[in-house]
Amino acid sequence: MAIKILISCLVFLSCFDDGWTRCSRSRPPKACGRSMTSNRGTIKSPRFPRPYLTAATYEDKVCTWLITLPYGQGIKLLLYGYDFAFERFRYTTYTDELQVFRDEMCGEESRIRQYQGNDTEYDIIHIPSNTACIKFFRRTTQNHSHTGFSMSYEAVDDNGECGTNGSSISSQEGYIHSPGYPAASYPQQINCTWVIQALPSQTIQVEFLDFQLSYIYSCDFAPDFVQIGSTNRTYEFKYCDQDTPSTFTSKKNIVWLYFKTGRWRNRGFLVYYKAIGGSPLPDISGADYWTSWARSDWRYFEETRWSSTRGYKKNSEPIDAFAVSTCSSPSLQSAAYLLLATLSSLTLIPGSFLFWTPSLDSNR
């Protein structure tokens, strides 16, 4: 009996080894950064929420994530706090850092945020562009307690053309900015009108994120100005100069935004609008989507649950679909059935269990 059990175990381990080897090799190491093209996603430091490790190679000292969306969309980033390590030596201080750029070039001239140290408060980062770059610098030599960062992003409408050409913007949130913003000054002698329209039971909140126009004497005589109101017949407010206007909330479900320029130039303005109140679209589960890792040819599956009021409720770790299918290979199934048959022949388990095991595979 002991010899039969020993032989059966050796046969099982031999069959299992082939399947396990192929399964373990099918999952590539997680890349330090990647390219992302989905309308929603998450970005995390390595091992988050556990402490991130020191970079194993020189290339991994900088993790880079690139977000590329279709033209006409902007990117809204939500950073859920951060915790970075730092080290002080006699003459030098090494600090881990997170940087955010408004385009895929990741150049210093396009950097809009940088974070060091730690902070538990979340931060919203508005990018009126269909591309963005996020870099995580690991400069310290060791880390035992700092967890890094976690952020999510969402695609929103981006309206950078001069007006809506008679149509209205019906999205629940998005950006409006002067032509050329922020890379170039706005053109001379233009008249642009945007119309934002929400559901009948909603109002619209308009927040000026950036505002830099030319100025002469007073707003009554300024050649460059912005007007905003619930109707285009009697705009409620007029803004000029470089003082950021207060947040505007409409009395109805429509907002008119008018921008006029003269013979001067300046940076321009950036507006974030959002429909509030009423009965907006309910929270829905985000559609499953595939993404491509920057340093691998493998495909990863991400499951997300989206909330229109708060952002991501849950985001699981990426699942390697190819590895999952390989782990369920015929070699492993055959090895499992062989073990069950052997144990059944030795009366160690009921033989009827063999007739139940195929149903496990058929119900997957």
Query: pLDDT tens digits, residue range 136-179?
Result: 999 999 899 999 999 999 999 999 889 887 789 999 999 999 99
pLDDT at 139: 94
Would you call 101 helix, strand, or coil by DSSP? strand
> Of the candidates 43, 50, 41, which has an alpha carbon nearest to the alpha carbon of residue 83?
50
pLDDT at 356: 44
The whole-angstrom distance between residue 275's C-alpha and the CA centroid of its chain comes to: 21
Would you call 2 helix, strand, or coil by DSSP? helix
Tracing tokens 């139940």 back to the chain, one arrives at: 356
Q: Would you say 124 and 173 are in contact if contact means Cβ atoms under 8 Å apart?
A: no
Q: Which residues contact 301 (CB under 8 A, 6 or more apart)?
A: 288, 290, 318, 319, 320, 321
Residue 212: strand pairing partners:
268
Q: Which residues contact 213 (CB under 8 A, 6 or more apart)?
A: 222, 224, 225, 226, 239, 240, 241, 242, 266, 268, 269
pLDDT at 3: 67
pLDDT at 83: 97
> Of the candidates 175, 260, 160, 251, which has an alpha carbon nearest to the alpha carbon of residue 209?
175
Would you call 222 helix, strand, or coil by DSSP? coil
pLDDT at 90: 82
pTM: 0.68
pLDDT at 326: 34
pLDDT at 357: 42
Instruction: Classify 148 in phi/psi space as left (phi over 0), alpha (psi -120 to 50) or beta.
Output: left
Q: What's the alpha-carbon Rg for the chain, to the nearest Å?
A: 28
pLDDT at 31: 57
Q: What CA–CA distance (Å, rounded) separates 162 from 149?
A: 37
Q: What CA–CA distance (Å, rounded) separates 267 from 274?
A: 23
pLDDT at 361: 38
pLDDT along the chain (364 residues), means of 10: 60 49 42 90 96 89 96 96 93 94 93 96 95 96 94 96 87 96 93 95 96 84 92 89 92 95 93 84 35 30 30 33 36 50 50 42 38
